[in-house]
Amino acid sequence: MATFPPISHAASSDRPSLQYKKVMASGLMNASASRTHPPLIHHLAICPEAQHIAGGFGHEVVIWQIDLDPDSGGYGAQDYQEKWDILTICHLNQLQGVGDFYVTCLTWASKKYFLFGSSSGEVFKLDKINRWKVGCDWKRFKPSTHAIKFLAMNRDGLLAVACGDHNVAIWVYDECSEDEDEEARWDCIHRLPLPSSRIGDGALYEVTYLGWNEALPDILVVSYLNHGILSWNASLGQWGEPFEVDKVYAGALSPDGRLYAAPGTRGAFDVFDLESKIRFRTLRDPEPVRNELPREKARPCQFVHDGEFLLGADIGRINLWHIATATRLQHLDLNLIGADQGYVDRPIGAFAISDTNNVQHNQIIRVAACSKGPYQDVEVWKAKVHSLAVQEEGRTAGARVQEEERTAGAGVQEEERTAGARVPVELICLILLGSLVMNGWMYTSI
């Protein structure tokens, strides 16, 4: 079994400083806003570099790119204003061989690939991200006749596909193949068997999460609604020991593969230690919900910043927790849209965040989210790596100053204590010397 480093238990004084700021993002409009009944956004994804956002509507995928021109009112003009332009739109119904199907999931598999699945059982792939243009060529293959539910690609290019309720398979893409048929370039290397049922025969198997361990890229973590959390070893082709957790509706895996987060009750998220198989933390929302809307059971969440923090969706907001201290540091509130219609706080329909684990100095990190509707705006928050580093450096420098002051103060106290201790010693020496002198005088007198 894999060996993981111990989980830190940071004191409250060691909590890192982290702050996301909402920006005024324009252009992230519904692709069919002119229609009488515009389609709703069901899925969001942000590329690792945070310069492209993808939205999955009913029958189409829209990709926006940020306008970096300072004269256009984009990011370069005002730090709190961003302008986004539609880069390309993929209409499923206009693609050859695709009927009346809809988008089921989408993801940036890496800096190189963007993937989305459909209810037809097909996976669509777009590569060469920096060369996207309107009317670009989407490549596709069909791993199943069932709707695609989850897609996850590891750093070695292995693509895990969950389709239907419980079918999971692992595919590999041959980039060196000269075959022009995209279907022929994909090869299925594993079809995962169903794990042993812990609640009797006939129990419903339903996959609720699929993700690769970034530290051990051969390990695929799969959660089931009624059968807990399991790890599939792609090198050995076998399941590991299951972690029995009741009702896993959704989840997220930390980058080191150690922790798994799942939505709990009343807006909380439970964080489990997959190695020791214990509930490590329960992250709670300290503020009550402002209306009586029921919470979604399958609320999305995601580990960020090397797994030190967790973003978790709730009604009308996304909470940011520091995991080690189980402290909510910030809540990202959606705008109160449609208040005149009674729609104030709505459940989060989708949210996404760019890569926070492999960022460079001064790089922007973005979070995008929207409600379930019927009124939707894609809202954006961001933070700079530079500002985080400055805050952390400031915190570290402040800690160093406090340590120096404490050490200096301790030195002064030690000096005073030592000086105070020297007084009685010197007095004793004088007494002894006087005694010797007196004895000497007495001796000569005799």
Closest of 213, 208, 255, 204 to residue 231, by C-alpha: 213
Q: Where are the domains of the chain?
A: 17-384, 385-446
Distance, CA of 406 to CA of 409 (rounded, Å): 5
Summarize pLDDT for 36-54 with one digit per residue, the tens. 456 788 999 999 889 899 9
| Prediction pTM value | 0.79
Beta strand residue intervals within 268-394, DSSP E: 269-273, 278-283, 301-304, 309-313, 317-322, 327-333, 348-353, 364-371, 379-384
Radius of gyration of the CA atoms of the chain, in A: 30
* pLDDT band at residue 332 under the 50/70/90 scheme: very high
What whole-number distance in Å separates Cα of residue 409 and Cα of residue 292? 55
Q: Are strands 348-353 and 364-371 parallel, antiparallel or unpaired?
A: antiparallel
Q: What's the pLDDT score for residue 373? A: 74
Q: Indicate the length of the chain as a whole number.
A: 446
Query: How far lies 64's CA from each of 7, 232, 290, in Å?
Result: 38, 35, 33
Q: Of 221-225, 318-322, 405-409, which gets the smallest average pLDDT?
A: 405-409
Tell me the residue type at 52: H
Question: Which backbone phi and psi does 435 adopt, to 5 degrees?
Answer: -65, -40
pLDDT for residue 24: 84
Choose between 53 and 4: higher pLDDT.
53
Of the candidate ranges 337-341, 361-365, 430-434, the one whose mean pLDDT is the lowest: 430-434
The residue with tokens 């069909």 is 142
- 158: its two tokens: 């292995």
pLDDT at residue 422 tops 80? no
Do the Cβ atoms of 31 and 57 come closer than 8 Å?
Answer: yes
- Write out pLDDT tens, residues 121-180: 999 988 765 555 545 678 889 999 999 999 999 989 899 999 999 999 999 988 777 777
Out of 13-17, 51-55, 88-92, 111-115, pick the least confident.
Answer: 13-17
Band of pLDDT at residue 18, cut at 50, 70 and 90: low
Paired tokens of 358 = 């492999």
pLDDT of residue 324 exceeding 80: yes
* SS3 state of residue 430: helix
pLDDT given for residue 267 in this prediction:
81
Residues 6+ apart with CB under 8 A from 254: 260, 261, 303, 307
Complete edge-to-edge strand list for the sheet that includes strand 228-233:
207-212, 219-224, 228-233, 238-239
17-384 belongs to which CATH class?
A: mainly beta
pLDDT of residue 430 exceeding 60: no
Digit-coded pLDDT (tens) for 347-397: 888 999 998 887 776 678 899 999 887 778 899 999 876 444 334 433 333
